Structure formats: C-alpha cells, structure tokens
C-alpha cells in the first residue's frame, strides 16, 4: 500500500477551511484534538501505510499489535482524510457536548482500539469459514470504523428521526446499515468489515455491556465513582465555560437534541428554568417592599420619600 504522491492536498485544504469556518473556539477539546492528531499523522506519518495498516496476518501472525493504535490515525489520501474528519467534526461536536469531554475521550480511545479488534476477528472468521486466506492479508487504515460506531451512538441519542442516504429518507435506527451497504456499493474499495466492526462496537455500547464495563473501569481510576463528564457550553463567540456534572444523572441519558441556548439558560432545561423563575417571582413578592434596592440602582430623593411614606402607611 503506497502513500499518495505529494502535491496540492485539496481535501486537506477543504477540511481546514471547514474547521476555521466553524471556529476553533466552538469545537470541543477532545474533538479538536482528534482532528489535529489525524491531520498531524497525515502530514507526518510515523510509518508508511503498509507498515501501519491493520490485518490478521500482520497483527496476529507477525505479532505486530502496534498497528491497532496506528491504523485509525493514518489515511490513504487527502480525500480519505477529508471525508472522515468532516464527519468527525459534526459527530464530535454533538456527542462531546452531550457526554462530556472526559467521557468522550474514553469513548474515542475505546472505540479506536476495539473497532480494530473486532475487525481482526471478523476477517479471521470469514477467512476460516470460507477457507480463503486472502482475508487474513486484507489491510485497512482510517478512522471510518470509529465513525460508524459514533454514528450508532448519535442515532441512539436522537431516535425517531430520518437520515438522508443518497437522497432517500431512512429511519435513523436503520441508517447505519443502509449506509454500510450504500458505501460498499458506491466505493467497492472501502473496507466493509472495518465499517461493520464499527457498527458492532457501537451496538455493544448502546445495547450491550460495553458502556457498563467502561463506567466500572473509569470508577476504579477516578476518586468519584460516578465519573462525571465535563460539560461544555458553546456559542458563536466561543466557549462560555464548563461545568462538571452528568446531565440528568447519567453520562449517556437520552434527551432532546442540543440547542444553542446554553449561554443564556446556563444549561438548564425548560422545566428547570420555569421552576427557577417561579421561585424568583415568589421571593420578589415577599421581599420587594422591605428589601434594599438592587445593586446598581439609585433611588431619587422623591422615590425615597415615597418609599418611606408607604412603609409608614403599611405600619398603621
């Protein structure tokens, strides 16, 4: 497998322009770091594609397990990088804001390694079942397997909607499977097993025991058993702060699609905003007459005399 010849990397230029269009300050830290890491390894690869791609023959038979770490962050060419990282940009913004940065970092790390492991198992099983050793030599690189796993998460947290696949509306719960087949039909050179491995890893997280295992492992290394995520709030002017907590009690709780109102609502839901407004209104009614004026307000002499007169009248 040869790396593409050096030249004008149009895909890389488009990716950078898209990142700057969104705004670096509006991209959560783990998502931004993932983008930067993939771009860095594209421009400065640790090894050639042939030495970093993932296959049963190279990993298992030749005991070269470092490929599990290298293969997700190496791409065949600039367009391979562009399509993967453009997808990562939007999935990362949505999921990291929902899950929190620390937990999202655990998800990315786990998915990157586990997707490779499942890919090797699939290739080995097919090779043995079909008695076709070429499957063991099939080599794959790229972040798309992880992206399919993140796609499963994204569809899990936003159920009931529709996704546009090749111009056709597809229910979100079936979107991953339709895209798996569609991509393979449109681009036969892509890794069907790699994409399928990503879907299986995503299902292991949303429907299987993977999430609980990750939470248990995180609790061992964290002083807080709940392992709270780091919730970021973003608006058009950049990051407006963060808060350590699990929204509604759990890191992966399903809720409405993220809005851009967090900078104004402090991250409160509509019910919490209403409750806080009612409490503030009741407090104001009971303290308006006897409380000092709000900070920054100065009463005129006439208003001060009127307030003193009202206090006398109330006391009679």
DSSP designation for 3: P
Nearest Cα neighbor of 2 from 174, 139, 129 is 139
48: DSSP letter: -
Name the catalytic one among 184, 195, 240, 254: 195
Task: Give pLDDT, residue 84.
Answer: 93
pLDDT tens, the chain, 316 aa long: 444 545 678 889 999 999 999 999 999 999 999 999 999 999 998 888 888 889 998 888 888 899 999 999 999 899 999 999 999 999 999 999 999 999 999 999 999 999 999 999 999 999 999 988 888 888 899 999 999 999 999 888 887 777 777 778 888 788 889 888 988 888 877 888 999 999 999 999 999 999 999 988 887 765 443 444 444 333 333 333 333 333 334 444 444 444 443 433 444 444 554 455 545 544 544 454 444 443 333 444 444 454 554 454 444 5
Q: Is 144 a catalytic residue?
A: yes
CB neighbour class for 278 (10 Å; exposed up to 12, middle 13-18, buried from 19): exposed
**How many residues comprise the chain?**
316
Whole-structure pTM value = 0.67
Domain 10-221 sits in CATH at 1.20.1540.10
Model pLDDT, residue 248: 38
| The pLDDT of residue 264 | 37
Using the structure block, give the residue that is written with the tokens 């198992």: 121
Q: How confident is the model at residue 168, as a pLDDT?
A: 80
At 133 the pLDDT is 85
Q: Which entry of 144, 191, 236, 269 is annotated as an active-site residue?
A: 144
The continuous run of DSSP H or E covering 85 comes out as: helix 78-99
Handedness of CA 101, 106, 109, 112 (dihedral sign): negative
Matching residue, tokens 């499957």: 135
Establish whether 156 is a catalytic residue.
no
Looking at residue 131, what is its pLDDT? 86
pLDDT (0 to 100) of residue 276: 53
State how far the Cα of 62 lies from the Cα of 53, in Å rounded to an integer: 13
């Amino acid at each position: 497998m040869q790396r593409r010849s050096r030249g004008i990397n149009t895909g890389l230029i488009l990716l950078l322009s898209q990142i700057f269009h969104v705004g670096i300050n509006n991209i959560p830290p783990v998502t931004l770091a993932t983008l930067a890491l993939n771009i860095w390894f594209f421009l400065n690869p640790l090894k050639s594609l042939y030495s970093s791609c993932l296959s049963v023959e190279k990993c298992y038979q030749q005991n070269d397990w470092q490929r599990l770490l290298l293969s997700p962050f190496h791409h065949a060419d600039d367009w391979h990088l562009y399509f993967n990282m453009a997808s990562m940009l939007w999935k990362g913004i949505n999921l990291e804001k929902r899950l929190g940065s620390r937990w999202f970092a655990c998800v990315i790390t786990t998915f990157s390694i586990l997707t490779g492991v499942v890919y090797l198992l699939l290739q080995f099983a097919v090779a043995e079942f079909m008695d076709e050793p070429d499957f063991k030599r099939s080599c794959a690189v790229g972040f798309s397997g992880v992206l399919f796993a993140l796609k499963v998460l994204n569809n899990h947290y936003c159920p009931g909607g529709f996704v546009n696949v090749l111009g056709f509306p597809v229910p979100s719960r079936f979107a991953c499977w339709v895209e798996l087949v569609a991509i393979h039909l449109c681009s036969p050179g892509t890794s069907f097993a790699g994409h399928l491995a990503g879907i299986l890893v995503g299902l292991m997280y949303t429907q299987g025991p993977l999430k609980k295992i990750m939470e248990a492992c995180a609790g061992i290394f964290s002083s807080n058993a709940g392992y709270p995520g780091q919730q970021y709030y973003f608006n058009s002017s950049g990051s407006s702060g963060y808060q350590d907590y699990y929204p509604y009690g759990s890191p992966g709780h399903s809720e409405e699609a993220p809005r851009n109102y967090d900078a104004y609502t402090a991250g409160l839901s509509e019910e919490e905003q209403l409750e806080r407004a009612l409490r503030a209104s009741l407090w104001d009614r009971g303290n308006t007459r006897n409380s000092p004026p709000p900070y920054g307000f100065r009463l005129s002499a006439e208003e001060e005399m009127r307030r003193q007169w009202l206090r006398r009248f109330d006391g009679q």
